Amino acid sequence: MIDRLVSKKKQFLKINFMKQDSSFDRVRVIEPETISKNRAIQKNQLSKGIFLLLLFLLPSLNSFGQQQYKNYTDGIDLSNSLINQKKYDEAILVLTKITKYPAPNNVNNAWLGLAKIYYELKKYDETINSVNTFLDLAAHSGNNCTTKTLQYDGTNYCLSEDDFLWAQLALVYCYQMKENDELTLPHLNAIISIKPTGYTLHSRGVILNKQGKVQEAINDFKQAIMDKDYDANAKNGIISGVINYYESNNFNNELYNFLKELPNKNAEQYNKLAYASFQKNNLEEADQYYNEALRLQPSISINVAAREASQKYVAEKKEERRRQEEIQRKEAEVRRMADLKKAQVGDKLLYSETWGWKEGMWWFETSGSYTMMVTCFIERIEGDRYQLRVGDVTSSDSNRFATPSINGVRVNKGDLIWARPLNGNRWVYGESF
């Protein structure tokens, strides 16, 4: 077919050349001005002729465009049906044919269809070529994009985010299979900039690590293990790799920080975190983490000396806190008694009692669910005895009140009672506890 067209073209050129040559002696010499006027007349006549021709052909051209578009959409539908039936060879023939058809926004999805078939068939070079053609069309689709435009690296792509991400992911996979890290990396960057996943972060981290960019790689690894949908085995591999790297380089602070931020730690990770805490002299933390490791796995092998030192420190600190609390309690009692002794007739005293639920009833207890405070006013003072008038009752739980009992006697607002507040630690002088 092509040979015949070339032959006809040569024949046409030859015939015209011969006509010019044979009639050369009959060509009249015409002045330039005359030639210019004649060309202007011919140009006007030609313009009118083309306008009339286009006007006449417009319905036919429009019909032709509609038919081509229908051929395009029908071809896409047919290829999808063939792909679903796994008739890949037939689908490739259909898609290859319609790559030449005009498509909406000049982005021919036939290339994307071919890429997906080649990807399925593990034909990596064909996949790469099809994807790159598809992306190139989307990047140079003109200014008439009717779909949402996606922007990446200064380029507007006339396609959806899902199609862009699939195309980039296909290129990542193909270049990985071809073991070409240099060409894999830019496509991982494209995906991560839009929608990072555990897989893409992990993959980029591996490449960065090979390039000697260890800290950048670890940053990617840390993000990858935070992806709740990423494969658990892959996460465990990342965690083990990072831990081994820190341990082999004696990066104790980095190991401590990494393990502390690690979610859902197992017994071994708690064990390592306990020892890292011990090395940082955080002995209370070390004891806590050793206890957690042993709770999860009682048979786990731990650093006994580190644990015993941590336990001893915690016990000493606990005793020290108990002594300090006792001192503070005694000092507070001295201050409370001193305040009560200042009380005069007309002053306010507060009495507290705590209630708890037991045996289906509310009982007065030393500790419980909520606390009531009774306001009392001093009417008389006789030695350590105070005559008090009961006032308002407040509760730490606004929904729960009970009739208060002062020194074991139930009272109501307005009652007069005698009490010895200097002998009871439930009494406080002033406005509040």
User: Which amino acid type is present at position 285?
Assistant: E
Query: Which residues have a Cβ under 8 Å from the Cβ of 95 and sit 6 or more positions away?
Result: 75, 79, 110, 111, 113, 114, 117
CA distance 321 to 284: 13
Domain count, the chain: 3
Last residue of a domain, which of 308, 341, 374? 341
Q: Which residues on adjacent β-strands are paired with residue 108?
A: none
CA distance 356 to 414: 26
Residue listed under structure tokens 């050349």:
17
CA distance 162 to 118: 19
Q: Quick: pLDDT tens for 75-113.
A: 888 988 888 898 989 989 989 998 888 777 778 889 999
What is the arithmetic mean of pLDDT over 307-322?
95
Domain hosting residue 378, numbered range: 342-429
Q: Quick: pLDDT tens for 230-240.
A: 999 999 999 99
Let me know whether 254 and 313 are in one domain. Answer: no
- The three-class DSSP label of residue 364 is strand
Q: So what's the pLDDT on residue 358? A: 55
Q: Quick: pLDDT tens for 16-58.
A: 322 223 222 222 222 323 323 333 433 343 333 323 322 333 3
Q: Do residues 375 and 417 touch, judged by C-beta distance below 8 A?
A: no
What is the arithmetic mean of pLDDT over 271-292?
96
C-alpha torsion sign, points 224, 225, 230, 234: positive
Last residue of a domain, which of 310, 341, 372? 341
Q: Quick: pLDDT tens for 212-236.
A: 999 999 999 999 999 999 999 999 9
Q: Nearest CA to 372 among 429, 416, 426?
A: 426
Q: Nearest CA to 376 among 402, 396, 406, 401?
A: 406
Q: Quick: pLDDT tens for 395-416.
A: 887 767 777 888 778 888 999 9
- The three-class DSSP label of residue 72 is helix
CA distance 66 to 72: 10
For residue 39, being part of any structural domain is answered with no
Confidence of residue 366 (pLDDT cuts 50, 70, 90): low
**Lowest-pLDDT choice from 187-191, 376-380, 409-413:** 409-413
Let me know whether 210 and 281 are in one domain. Answer: no
For residue 28, being part of any structural domain is answered with no
CA distance 61 to 55: 10
Let me know whether 141 and 203 are in one domain. Answer: yes
Let me know whether 98 and 189 are in one domain. Answer: yes
Q: So what's the pLDDT on residue 282? A: 96
